Amino acid sequence: MTLMVRNLSFAYSFRDILKNVSFQTSQGEILAVLGPNGVGKTTLFRCILGFHRHYRGSILVQGREARTLNSRKLSSDVAYIPQSHGHAFNYSVLDMVLMGTTSSINPLSVPGKRQEETAYDALARIGAEHLAGCSFSHLSGGEQQLVLIARALAQKAKILLMDEPTSNLDYGNQTRILQQIRLLADYGYTVLLSSHNPQQALWYADNILAMEDGSVVAFGTPDDVMNSNLLKTLYGIDIALVHSDYGTLLAPQLFGDHDTSRGEKLHATMDR
C-alpha cells in the first residue's frame, strides 16, 4: 500500500499550516515524522485521514485522491492510532478491538462471529490475545497502546498513522511498542508515526520526514538526513551523533562553552 503526498498546503483562517509538503511511502516502510511542537504534524495526519479535505495539492492512496474517497472507503485503507484513548465506559479489550471492524458491516448491525474472528486475529498478531477478556481501563499504558494498534489492524487498513505512540510510556514499554511496530512493517504494513524522539527515528525508521514551520526541511533515510545541523534546526540545541558498535547515539550538548575539554572531545565526534 503506497501513499504519495505532493505539494500539500493547508491553512486555517489564512494562516498557513502546511506549505508544499511532498513525500512518498512504500509498503513495509516506517516513516518517522519529526519536528518541534506546532510544525503541522497533526494537521498532516488529519489531511490524510480525510478530516481536512480543503487542502491544496494531492494525497494519493494507492493512486486515488484521498479527498474523493468516502469515509468508509478511506478507513479501509488508512487507520489511526492515537496516543491514548479516553474511556467513559468499562469496555473489554475485545470490545475495543471490535470497534475497528465496524467499517466492514452495515451501520445498523452489530459485530458478529466473523468480526470476532478478525478481532482475535488482530490481537494474536501483536501477541495480546491473552488480554481479550480484560478491562481496557485496567491495563498498563503499554498494554493499552497494543490494544489500540490491534483495533487498527482489525480495521484491515494497510496504512497506519500513529500519533506519538510511545509518548506516555516508560522506557521498557517504548522499546516493546517500537519493536512491535517494526514487526508490523515487516509484515507489509506502511507506518507513519510522529515522534518527538529523534533517537527512536534513527533506530527504527526506514525514512525520516523532518518538518519546520509547516515545511519539509529534510526527507530521506536516517543515514542520509540525520546530522547535527538538522537537529539544531529542529530543536535549537547542539546534538552530537556518536557512532558506536551498538549503533548511532544522539548526545545533547548540555554544558557551557567554559568547559573546553569536554566541548573539544564532544566536538570531535559530531557529524557535520
pLDDT digits (tens, 9 = 90+) for 134-151: 999 999 989 999 999 999
Q: What is the pLDDT confidence band of residue 210, given thresholds at 50, 70 and 90?
A: very high
Q: Helices 141-154 & 171-186, crossing angle to 10 degrees?
A: 20
Q: What is the pLDDT confidence band of residue 72, given thresholds at 50, 70 and 90?
A: confident
Residues 183 and 268 in one domain: no
Residues 125 and 241 in one domain: no
Rounded-to-integer distance, Cα 157 and Cα 74, Å: 9
DSSP string for residues in 89-117:
S--BHHHHHHGGGGGGS-TT----HHHHH
Q: Which three cell numbers stand for residue 183?
A: 514487526
Counting the structural domains of the chain, the total is: 2
Q: Which three cell numbers stand for residue 270?
A: 559530531
Better-scored residue on pLDDT, 231 or 267: 231
From start to end of the chain, where are the E strands? 3-12, 15-25, 30-34, 56-61, 64-65, 78-81, 159-163, 190-195, 207-212, 215-220, 239-244, 247-252
Dihedral, 22, 212, 188, 180 alpha carbons, nearest 10: -170
Residues 86 and 171 in one domain: yes
Q: Is the pLDDT of residue 77 over 80?
A: yes
Q: Is the pLDDT of residue 102 over 90?
A: no
Lowest mean pLDDT among 40-54, 84-98, 191-205: 84-98
Pairing of strands 239-244, 247-252: antiparallel
Residues 218 and 260 in one domain: no
Residues 218 and 243 in one domain: no
Residues 104 and 124 in one domain: yes
Instruction: Work out the average pLDDT over 111-123.
Output: 91
**Nearest to 251, CA basis, from 264, 234, 270:** 270
Quick: pLDDT tens for 149-180. 999 999 999 999 999 998 888 999 899 999 99
Q: What is the spatial order of strands in the sheet that 15-25 belongs to? A: 15-25, 3-12, 56-61, 64-65
- Model-wide pTM > 0.85: yes
Residues 155 and 247 in one domain: no
Instruction: Work out the average pLDDT over 238-265.
Output: 75
Residues 207 and 265 in one domain: no
| The predicted structure's pLDDT at residue 258 | 46
CA-to-CA separations, 5 to 8, 12, 73, 145, 157, in angstroms, rounded: 6, 19, 18, 27, 18
Q: What is the pLDDT confidence band of residue 85, given thresholds at 50, 70 and 90?
A: low
Residues 89 and 71 in one domain: yes
CA-to-CA separations, 137 to 89, 128, 134, 141, in angstroms, rounded: 9, 15, 9, 9
The SS3 call for residue 243 is strand
Instruction: Work out the average pLDDT over 113-135.
Output: 93
Residues 106 and 213 in one domain: yes
- Mean pLDDT over the full length of the chain: 89
CATH code of the domain covering residue 42: 3.40.50.300
Query: Range of 245's domain?
Result: 237-272
| The predicted structure's pLDDT at residue 90 | 83
Q: What is the pLDDT confidence band of residue 261, given thresholds at 50, 70 and 90?
A: very low
Residues 224 and 241 in one domain: no
Instruction: Work out the average pLDDT over 88-115.
Output: 82
Residues 191 and 230 in one domain: yes
- Write the DSSP symbol of residue 249: E
Q: Is the pLDDT of residue 111 over 80?
A: no
